[in-house]
Amino acid sequence: MSLGIYIHIPFCLSKCPYCDFNSKVIDSDLAGEYVKSLLKEIQAFSESQTERIFAETIYFGGGTPSILRTSRLGAILETVLSSFEVKSDAEISLEVNPGTLTKGKVKKLRNLGFNRASLGVQSFRDEELKILGRTHTSRQALKSYRMLKECLNNLSLDLIFGIPGQSLKTWRENLNMALKLRPEHLSVYSLTIEEGTPFYYLWKQGELGLPDEEEVRKMYLEGINLLKAQGYRQYELSNFACKGFECQHNLRYWQGKEYIGFGAGAHSYFQGVRWGNIRGIKEYVELSEKNSLLIDFRERLTESQKINEFILLGLRMTEGIDLKKLKEDLNFDLEKEKKVEISELINVRFLKRGKDNLRLTRKGILVADSIIQKLCP
């Protein structure tokens, strides 16, 4: 059986005010204990399996995985490589933040086996980086990109739009700077205000100064248009790639394929069961030391859940919902069950019917969430 493997590294140089990911400011001693617990969890899962498991993708996310010492990253990757049958052409990705690299470290990472990096630039404008609470500057972002480019030929950049004080003009400047670098992949995300974050409390008090919804929509469409004009193919709502450089690991999520997550708060989907580890980093380490169960929740997906996720994930992809596969795999005829809704959405040009698929139009992408709600049973 084939899987994707996710490794969660929950440490950062600082906590950004918009971030609700499971992460905290790094503590070197805790990081060392955490890595030991990770290795233990990986080995325990591998030993519990009776069938050989082939890893098609390995993804180190966070947090900021690149903040770890190279020796610790190497120990984790080596444990994965020795615990699973890793395919020779496996995509092995590392999330990286500017300012956490040296030339020597990048070379070591390549030699360890990493063949793809995702660089969290977010913006090339220093004033926007300060607003976002990022610890790097635009100069450091460019320097980190060039260091990575010397050793790897599969790089992705992350950019955020809808930043407080941002305009369509400054967003366009960010895009053009990214396009000058010609990364193989770009992820562009609208800033999301998550409950419990410092940005959330500023927003509630009316002190955040976000661009209005219409301006944010224009920014998104500008991104689609500029990237398409430069040869990037949009394959998911927020992701664009040169031909052959789509993120294979994330495609597994969006295509409903199996994956295993290791680390605090990591999620897995395997043999029809989804589970998630406990989020607390110290608690994760303490339970590991006691050989206690690390799982916070576990659920076997119902047929209804599987259908809803097939529809939701399918519409996130620009290829859309595979109607034939939905019917064959889950015995659900979407066109029959949602005939009226689909007809209405096609008439207002939110959906387009292909040979065997149903996908969002450019207009439909802007209201994707409401369309998903209408089509899910």
pLDDT of residue 351: 96
Host domain of residue 142: 2-254
The rounded distance, in Å, linking the Cα atoms of 362 and 221 is 9
Average pLDDT, whole number, for the chain? 96
Of residues 329, 338, 377, the one with CA closest to residue 358: 338
Same domain for 365 and 241? no
User: Based on the domain organization, do 243 and 121 belong to the same domain?
Assistant: yes
Residue type, 194: E
Pairing of strands 357-360, 351-353: antiparallel
| Strand, coil or helix: 17 | coil
User: With 90 as the cut, is the pLDDT of residue 105 above it?
Assistant: yes
Mean pLDDT score, 169-192: 98
Report the share of the chain in percent with pLDDT over 70. 100
Average pLDDT over residues 13-42: 93
Q: Is residue 377 scored above 90 in pLDDT?
A: no
Q: Residue 148 pLDDT more than 90?
A: yes
In a domain, 8, yes or no: yes
* CATH number of the domain to which 108 belongs: 3.20.20.70
Q: Is the pLDDT of residue 22 over 90?
A: no
> In terms of domains, do 38 and 162 share one?
yes
- Of 224, 254, 284, the one marking the end of a domain is 254
Average pLDDT value for residue range 80-97: 96
Whether residue 133 is contained in a domain is answered as yes
Q: What is the pTM (predicted TM-score) of this model?
A: 0.95
Q: Are 48 and 195 found together in one domain? A: yes
- How does pLDDT run across 183-231, given as a tens digit for each residue? 999 999 999 999 999 999 999 999 999 999 999 999 999 999 999 999 9
Confidence band of 92 (pLDDT split at 50, 70, 90): very high
Rounded to 10 deg, the angle between the 70-83 and 28-48 helix axes is: 10
**Is residue 29 situated within a structural domain?**
yes
Contact 187, 238 (CB under 8 A): yes
In this model, does residue 137 exceed pLDDT 90?
Answer: yes
Of 254, 284, 315, the domain-final residue: 254
Q: Cα 268 to the chain's mean position, in Å?
A: 14
In a domain, 296, yes or no: no
Cα(292)–Cα(306) distance, integer angstroms: 30
Number of structural domains (the chain) is 2
Q: How far is CA 105 from the centre of its chain?
A: 23
Residue 20 pLDDT greater than 90, yes or no: no
Q: Mean pLDDT lowest for which of 171-175, 240-244, 290-294?
A: 290-294
